[in-house]
Amino acid sequence: AQSVTQLDSQVPVFEEAPVELRCNYSSSVSVYLFWYVQYPNQGLQLLLKYLSGSTLVESINGFEAEFNKSQTSFHLRKPSVHISDTAEYFCAVEAYGSGNTGKLIFGQGTTLQVKP
């Protein structure tokens, strides 16, 4: 079985400051890792994913996350946040195996509040 822990329920930060949203996971098998973002009254949008290869993955809007297998972590970072980044962020894992495709295990979510 897999589980995901997001270590901060809320992260307040000022505009243009750096931010890190922490995610740790537990799994007895190898997993794929994802970050999703949810804006108010909307569904989830994929922000970035780690499937294989380079452990540092980037999104088109400046976020990046690094897969650390030894620490079972997949923390999300951005060097300079904008007001528009205010949203709920979810870390998720999917166990290896074609039969597991699409069966995501999510963390509790972290609310990123960007202040002017």
Point out which residues bind another protein (CB under 8 A): 4, 6, 32, 34, 36, 41-46, 49, 51, 90, 92, 94, 98-109
Nearest approach in angstroms of CB 21 to another protein is 13
Nearest approach in angstroms of CB 107 to another protein is 5
Nearest approach in angstroms of CB 11 to another protein is 15
Separation CA 41–CA 59 (nearest Å): 22
Nearest approach in angstroms of CB 80 to another protein is 26
Separation CA 19–CA 106 (nearest Å): 21
- Of 41 and 116, nearer to another protein (C-beta) is 41
Q: Which two tokens stand for residue 113?
A: 């509040």
Q: 99: helix, coil or strand?
A: helix
Q: Which amino acid is at 87?
A: A
33, 46, 47, 65, 102 from 40: Cα distances, Å: 23, 15, 16, 23, 23
- Of 49 and 77, nearer to another protein (C-beta) is 49
- Of 15 and 86, nearer to another protein (C-beta) is 86
